[in-house]
Structure 1
Amino acid sequence: MDAFISLQKSIERLVRIRCSNYKEDYIKRRILSRMRLTNTADFEAYHKYLLANPQEVDLLRNALTINVTKFFRDPEVFEVLRREVFPDLAARRGSIRIWCAGCSTGEEPYSIAILAHDLLALHPGASVTIHATDIDTVVLEKARTGIYDRKALENVDERQIRRHFISHDDGTFEVRPHIKDLVKFRQHDLMSGIPIARYLDAVTCRNVTIYFTEQQKNELARLIHSALSVDGYYIMGKTEYLGREVEHLFAPYNVMQKILRKAA
């Protein structure tokens, strides 16, 4: 059997990531970066190293999923959510349900929770539930802890930091309980074909599909479409797009910020 194919089979079994969901060049680049760090000469040698060193499983998972994020990443998107999307949902719904898919270490769902907390102050009869999911249990544990360094908060103003974070002596900041309580973290594989919930009012899935094949992007779009209520919002990454096979499933709401609505 080809050494790379054999390695992929072990990755799927140990790391629990379906390599077929990603472009082959991307998988190879991430593995090669781990090979350089582990001083392994080829795929076969790295395969043996992976099997012999259990700690490499988590390191490889992190390399493949690339968890790079921060609070209010792409501030313009969150401004549209704050000024238009969330007030619209509050006016039309008593209970707002949001899914943050591919949530990584939690900065995005907590950013949404901060906006939701401010929204609830203006609409006391409303409620908000945020489902935050990722395939990586390691990043989910960090997300639940909710402790971040100053760099992750560079888009958060000082007033929000004082209101929503606890400052620790070591220079880190912890999300306060009133924000944590709005977010429910859970492991979930986006390629399982099963949404985390149905009749959702909004789904954010940003900067995830850039590593997917065209087929997997289309399957994900169908999954999100099935999860949303009529007129529900789908927020994509700024560099992402819908394939022609699935573009009829959504109508543009804000083209510049990649915010769509579920088509009837």
Structure 2
Amino acid sequence: MDGFASLLRSIERLVGFKCSNYKEDYIKRRILSRMRLTNTADYEAYHKYLLGNPQEIDPLRNALTINVTKFFRDPEVFEVLRREVLPDLARHKKTIRIWCAGCATGEEPYSIAILAHELTALRRDVNVTVYATDIDTGALQKAMAGIYDEKALENVDRRRLRKHFISRDDGTFEVRSHIRDFVKFRQHDLMSGVPIARYLDAVTCRNVTIYFTEKQKNELARLFYSALTADGYYIMGKTEYLGREVEHLFTPYNIAQKILRKAA
């Protein structure tokens, strides 16, 4: 029996992570990082270690689902959201609903919440809700705690830092409650085929699909299409793209920043 295939079956059973949805090279890199840390020489040895050491399940899950992120990652994208996307939505509706899919440890949904706070300070008749989801419950716990180090905040200017964060004695910063109130965190598997909500005005899913197979990327595009309201916005990662099978579902809005709109 192939050692790698056998290991993947155990990972799906023990960790609850569906490896077949992701590129094989990505899975192998993540497993190899755990093999180095556990001093296991090959897939068979690591498989045996995993089965004999239940405490390895959480570190492996974290390795498989890890996302490197920060507040206002790719600032130009958020500037378009601030100047164009959110004001456009506010012109047409009083309730704006945004899904931040694959939110990791929360930097992106809180960044959107800061923009929402700035919008609603000018438009008090508008209400914004950010649904933030991820498959990794450990990452969601960190997100809900809302405590970040200085490096995660390097794109946050001093005015926003003072206004929206509490400086803690240990050098970290805590998101203030008026920003937290915009965000609803929930565990969700993007591969479930079910959106977190319907009739959404925008979906952000950035730097997530780069790990998926082409088939899963296409299914995810269809999922977001079904979740968005007419002319809703879909914001992708800078290096991501739509497959040919699904590119007709969306029209470009800002090509440079990978912002699309739902096609009629």
* 1:138 pairs with 2:138: yes
How many Å separate the matches in 1 of 2:250 and 2:25? 30
Q: How far off is 1:61 after superposition?
A: 1.4
For the residue of structure 1 that corresponds to 2:70, the secondary structure is: coil
The match for 1:73 is 73
- Say how many residue pairs are matched: 264
Deviations along 1:89-126, one digit per CA (max 9) or x if unpaired, are 11111100000000000000000000000000111101
- Tell me the amino acid that sits aligned with residue 239 of structure 2: T
**Aligned equivalents of 1:50 and 1:98: distance in 2?**
38
SS in 1 for 2:25: helix
Please give the secondary structure, in 1, of the residue aligned with 2:13. helix
Bigger mean CA deviation after superposition, 213-222 or 22-31:
22-31
Other-structure match for 1:17 = 17
What is the Cα deviation at residue 66 of structure 1?
2.2
Residue 62 of structure 1: aligned partner: 62
Could you tell which deviates more after superposition, 195-204 or 14-23?
A: 14-23
SS at match of 1:260: strand
Q: Distance in 2 between matches of 1:58 and 1:75?
A: 32
Q: What amino acid sits opposite 1:105 in the alignment?
A: T
Cross-structure match for 2:180: 180
After TM superposition, the structure 1 = structure 2 runs for residues 83-232 of structure 1, keeping only pairs within 5 Å, are 83-232=83-232
Per the normalisation by structure 2, the TM-score is 0.99
Amino acid at match of 1:224: F
Q: Gapped runs of 5+ residues in structure 1?
A: none
Q: Distance in 2 between matches of 1:130 and 1:247?
A: 26
**Partners of 1:64 and 1:178 in 2: CA distance:** 33
Residue by residue over 1:4-28, the C-alpha shift from the partner in whole angstroms, topping out at 9 and shown as x without a partner, is 1111111111211110110112111
For residues 56 and 73 of structure 2, the distance between their equivalents in structure 1, rounded to whole angstroms, comes to: 29
User: How many angstroms does 1:54 deviate by?
Assistant: 2.1
Provide runs of 4+ in structure 1 moved above 3 Å.
none
Tell me the distance in 2 between the aligned counterparts of 1:52 and 1:173: 39
Provide the rounded CA distance (Å) in 2 between the counterparts of 1:227 and 1:16: 25
Q: Percent identity?
A: 81
| Unaligned 5+ runs, structure 2 | none
Identify the range of structure 1 (50-59 vs 102-111) with the bigger mean alpha-carbon deviation: 50-59
2:115 partner amino acid: L
State how far apart, in whole Å, the 2-side matches of 1:51 and 1:174 are.
38
Q: CA RMSD in A?
A: 0.7
Range 97-106 or range 9-18, more displaced: 9-18
Distance 2:168 2:54 in 1: 33
Deviation at 1:45, TM superposition (A): 1.1
Give 1:55 deviation, angstroms.
2.4
